[in-house]
């Protein structure tokens, strides 16, 4: 099926897999029939149960209903998935391509190493795109002097790096990634001798560049920091300019993109929003919030398209901008196309990937599924978005100026930039005009600019949401915008590469933050179940609803299944039909159907069976830890019992953590609130299965009545054997500490003892 205009050579096409759709829909029908029988069984036999087990029966029934509901919502992804192919070579000439602003955001060098941020910046500067139409902005949320210094050094090094990449057709344009390669030098050069000479020269310059940045970073730790801090500093905007031609030939002309350092004003007396909020510009007129980069860039470049990048997500395929333009140039799609989303791929993931850091299901199942409806979720990074979609529609000439200032703030220049007939500013015209634009940009970067405007008054909730990217894309699509998803083929390179979580602490901390943000949206007035049902398609709103509710609707049932059946197994009381009962086959079918469908998705996407096991394990671990805490966090915020918080994921590599990860061993050096529940659940199930088997073998308990509970506990133990390994078998630093084991033993004994007393009475 063609998704582009009806011209002889389309810029892009999309296609679906009919066989996969048939399998998906057939499975959905069969699974739904089985669920209906399960619901009938639970409802019909509810009041036929002895009084002591009505409550656990109700708990299990409720859990089964919740899992069935979240499963039903997830059918939206598999109903009509599509996959896209682009043809950037068919784009018009460079002079007809639109300008692009690139936004990169960093919070500080402690968790986001400066060299890594600069590598991302350099990869963006070397995109295969006309340099005069490329403008790169680095937003330094902490206003660190070392970041600004490193950016100046990057500008100097780029004068060597950019010509080298262009001259020899280098594909890997992140310097660190390129020079770490030992064999394939990634060049199209037909003169290998000349290429190797140039390569060594550039490598020498890169080593010097890193050394200068490292030395500056060490010096900054000992210098007097003065009156300004990361949480209290004025706005700072600096346009990098070429001030030296040392080492270059006189007739050599280097076309460089515009490079701008931006640090928004921060004050301890003013509430500030998250890093994502300082980046994700949200739509106006009661829908979205503005951001500093959007306003500042409107003064300096005002490009019609914007690329958003995390500071550790470098451009791995220099043609990504042209790939995105294949959609934005489509006359049928472009008028309503808000953004083109690319997947996140990670360079630090091991072959085993014990933490499911790849997030396979999102980028291979969920996003293509949503792309077949109205478009994928805005994923926070790796997307090319239309400025008009962020700023609503361009304003008309006949709107009253006072009304505009009430909505957009007091800046006349910023209001002018929103007009359809606005001419792009030229910083090279003269010094006076450039200074005026820079001063206006500093005003727009102030922390109080949006006070008393519709930005600040009407959509304050969006500022506080940790899942601002998710919410931004959802509300856009509810207003009629669409999006597209472009994943690399198996034979092509990922468009972007970054770093992922490779230790349990970061994984669960990140999961708690994401869970809180998603449930926050589910409980808000923008809940996809209600807000989206009348504004977008039914299936599309189902997909968004599943994403916003899954942390809450997984944590409650999984806690129930991990504790209630084992407790009653220990006491010899059945909660499932006996093996000879026809309804037992319904429970068994649903259990095996879910596992086999997940296994099918893993295999179809080219992953090994080991990946399926890892994903099952991480799903259970997250559900009883970070999904629970994230959901509680969102509920407390809903009742104004806490404020929203934002913690960045640590991007500083730890050698010992990396060694454990590469060896396929869990690193349990994390908070007790994460590890203790895991150990407690394992101890409860171990005690229950031992006690249950003892009852069957020596006390005459009918095994056919208890088989369902034995099977469930056995499955939990087998899938999470790594917890047992961390408790008793391992001796390295990543093992579970003794005090956590003792604490968990106490918790499990209390739970089993009190539970048994309640049951016996």
Whether the Cβ atoms of residue 723 and residue 354 lie closer than 8 Å to each other: no
Query: Which pLDDT band holds residue 458 (cuts at 50, 70, 90)?
Result: very low
**Cα distance between residue 704 and residue 210, in whole Å:** 68
pLDDT tens digits for range 336-395 = 999 999 999 999 899 899 999 999 999 999 999 999 999 999 998 999 999 888 775 445
* Cα separation values, 314 from 122, 266, 494, 534, 546, Å: 8, 27, 11, 38, 30
Reduced DSSP (H G I as helix, E B as strand, rest coil) percent helix, strand, coil of the chain, to 5: 55, 10, 35
Query: Which pLDDT band holds residue 427 (cuts at 50, 70, 90)?
Result: low
**Cα distance between residue 370 and residue 541, in whole Å:** 10
Residues known to be catalytic: 141, 469
The topology under which CATH files domain 88-181+192-220+229-242+254-344+379-494 is: Spore Coat Polysaccharide Biosynthesis Protein SpsA; Chain A (3.90.550)
pLDDT computed for residue 445 by the predictor: 65
The average pLDDT across 609-633 equals 96
pTM: 0.89
Ligand-binding annotation for 111, yes or no, is yes
The average pLDDT across 563-589 equals 95
- The closest alpha carbon to 513, from 530, 501, 498, belongs to 501
**For 728, which DSSP code?**
I
According to DSSP H, which parts of 80-191 are helical? 114-125, 145-168, 175-179
Most confident of the ranges 33-47, 256-270, 583-597: 583-597
Half-sphere exposure of 568 (CA within 13 A, CB side): 23
The average pLDDT across 620-635 equals 95
Tokens read off for 386: 């239309």
Question: Is residue 450's pLDDT more than 70?
Answer: no
Mean pLDDT of the chain: 85
pLDDT tens digits for range 265-274 = 766 555 444 4
Ligand-binding annotation for 141, yes or no, is yes
| % of residues, the chain, pLDDT over 70 | 80
Tokens read off for 674: 């994460």
pLDDT computed for residue 489 by the predictor: 83
Question: Is residue 72's pLDDT more than 70?
Answer: yes
The average pLDDT across 276-304 equals 55
Q: Domain coordinates of the chain in residue numbers?
A: 18-78+559-613+652-760, 88-181+192-220+229-242+254-344+379-494
Output the furthest CA–CA distance in the chain (Å, rounded). 95
**Cα distance between residue 605 and residue 412, in whole Å:** 52
């Amino acid at each position: 099926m063609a998704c582009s205009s009806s011209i002889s050579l389309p810029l892009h096409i999309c296609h679906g897999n009919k066989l996969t759709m048939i399998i998906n829909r057939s499975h959905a029908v069969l699974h739904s029939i089985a669920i209906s029988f399960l619901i009938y069984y639970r409802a019909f036999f509810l009041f036929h149960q002895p009084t002591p087990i009505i409550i656990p029966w109700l708990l299990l029934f409720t859990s089964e209903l919740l899992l069935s509901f979240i499963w039903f919502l997830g059918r939206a992804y598999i109903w009509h998935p599509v996959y896209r192919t682009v043809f950037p070579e068919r784009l018009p000439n460079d002079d007809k391509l639109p300008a692009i602003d690139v936004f990169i955001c960093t919070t500080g060098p402690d968790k986001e190493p400066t060299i890594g941020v600069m590598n991302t910046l350099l990869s963006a500067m070397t995109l295969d795109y006309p340099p005069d139409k490329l403008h790169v902005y680095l937003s330094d949320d902490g206003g660190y002097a070392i970041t600004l210094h490193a950016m100046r050094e990057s500008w100097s090094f780029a004068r060597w790096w950019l010509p080298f990449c262009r001259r020899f057709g280098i594909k890997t344009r992140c310097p660190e990634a390129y020079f770490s390669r030992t064999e394939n030098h990634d060049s199209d050069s037909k003169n290998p001798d000349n290429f190797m000479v140039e390569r060594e020269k550039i490598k020498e310059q890169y080593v010097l560049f890193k050394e200068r940045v490292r030395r500056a970073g060490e010096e900054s730790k000992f210098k007097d920091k003065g009156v300004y801090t990361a949480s209290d500093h004025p706005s700072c905007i600096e346009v990098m300019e070429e001030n030296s031609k040392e080492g270059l030939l006189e007739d050599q002309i280097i076309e460089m993109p515009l490079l701008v350092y931006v640090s928004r004003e921060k004050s301890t007396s003013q509430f500030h929003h998250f890093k994502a909020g300082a980046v994700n510009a949200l739509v106006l007129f009661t829908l979205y919030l503005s951001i500093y980069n959007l306003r500042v860039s409107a003064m300096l470049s005002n490009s019609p398209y914007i690329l958003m990048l995390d500071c550790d997500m470098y451009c791995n395929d220099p043609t990504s901008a042209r790939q995105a333009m294949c959609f934005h140039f489509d006359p049928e799609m472009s008028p309503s196309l808000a953004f083109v989303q690319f997947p996140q791929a990670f360079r630090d993931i091991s072959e085993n990937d014990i933490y499911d850091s790849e997030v396979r299901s999102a980028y291979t199942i969920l996003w293509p599924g949503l792309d077949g409806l109205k478009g994928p979720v805005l994923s926070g990074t790796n997307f090319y978005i239309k400025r008009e979609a962020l700023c609503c529609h361009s304003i008309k000439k006949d709107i009253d100026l006072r009304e505009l200032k009430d909505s957009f703030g007091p800046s006349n220049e910023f209001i002018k930039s929103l007009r359809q007939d606005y001419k792009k500013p030229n910083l090279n015209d003269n010094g006076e005009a450039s200074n005026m634009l820079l001063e206006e940009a500093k005003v727009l970067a102030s922390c109080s600019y949006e006070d008393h405007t519709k930005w600040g008054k009407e959509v304050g909730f969006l500022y506080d949401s940790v899942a601002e990217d998710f919410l931004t894309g959802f509300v856009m699509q509810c207003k009629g915008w669409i999006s597209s998803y472009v994943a690399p083929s198996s034979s092509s390179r990922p468009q972007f590469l970054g770093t992922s979580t490779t230790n349990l602490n970061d994984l669960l901390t990140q999961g708690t933050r994401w869970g809180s943000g998603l449930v926050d949206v589910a409980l808000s007035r923008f809940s996809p179940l209600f807000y989206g049902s009348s504004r977008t398609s039914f299936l599309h709103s189902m997909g968004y609803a599943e994403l916003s509710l899954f942390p809450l609707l997984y944590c409650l049932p999984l806690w129930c299944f991990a504790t209630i059946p084992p407790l009653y197994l220990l006491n010899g009381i059945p909660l499932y039909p006996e093996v000879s009962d026809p309804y037992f086959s319904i429970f068994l079918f649903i259990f095996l159907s879910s596992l086999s469908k997940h296994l099918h998705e893993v295999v179809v996407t080219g992953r090994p069976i080991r990946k399926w096991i890892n994903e099952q394990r991480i799903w259970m671990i997250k559900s009883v830890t970070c999904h629970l805490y994230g959901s509680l966090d969102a509920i407390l915020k809903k009742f104004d019992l806490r404020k929203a918080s934002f913690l960045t994921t640590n991007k500083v590599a730890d050698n010992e953590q990396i060694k454990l990860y590469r060896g396929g061993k869990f690193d349990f050096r994390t908070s007790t609130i994460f590890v203790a529940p895991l150990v407690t659940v394992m101890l409860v199930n171990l005690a229950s299965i031992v006690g249950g088997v003892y009852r069957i073998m020596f006390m005459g308990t009918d095994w056919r009545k208890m088989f369902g509970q034995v099977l469930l506990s056995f499955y939990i133990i087998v899938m999470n054997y790594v917890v047992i390994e961390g408790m008793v078998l391992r001796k390295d630093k990543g093992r579970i500490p003794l005090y956590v084991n003792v604490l968990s033993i106490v918790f499990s004994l209390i739970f089993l003892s009190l539970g048994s007393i309640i049951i016996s009475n």
